[in-house]
Structure 1
C-alpha cells in the first residue's frame, strides 16, 4: 500500500464506514438524521459514534434548535480533520486492495 493508503480496522466496521462516509460529505449532521438515514437505533448509533469520538475521528456538540421552541438540544456530529484523513486513507487502501486505483 502507498503512503496515502492506510487500512483502518476501526473505520472498516460496516456501520462506522457508513457513518464516516456520510459525515465526509457534509460539514455536520444531526444525530437523528444520521440515525434515520442508517436505519439504526439511538443506542446502536451512539455506540459506534462513541468509538469514533474516542479515536478523535468525530466530534459531537450539542446546540439548541433554532426551529424548535422547547429546550431540547440537538446533537451535531462532524468528522475531524484526522477523521477525514483516516477515512480518505482507508478508502484509498480499499481501492488498492480491489485494484481500482488509477
Structure 2
C-alpha cells in the first residue's frame, strides 16, 4: 500500500478503474465525504464481508478521518489479495478538495 496526497488521489481517481473507499463511521461521513466515494465503515461487523465483494482489479483509494483507519483497512485488503491499494495521507483532515453530504 502506498501513501498518497490529495493531488495523487485526484490523478488516480480520474481513471475509470479507481474507487474512493471511505472507511469512516456513518456519523463522520454525514459531515461530508469525497464525491462518488463508497462508505464501508471499518468498525462495522460486516466490514470484511463487504470488502470481499469488491472487485480486486480496481484501484482503491482509502480514506478515513486522519489516515490511520484507512491504512489499517488497506493493509487488510492487501492481505487478502487486493493489489492496488492507496492511502490518503492525513485523511479527510488533510483533504483540500470538495466534499458532499450524503
Q: TM-score, normalised by structure 1?
A: 0.32
Query: Between Structure 1 and Structure 2, which shows a larger proportion of helix residues?
Result: 1
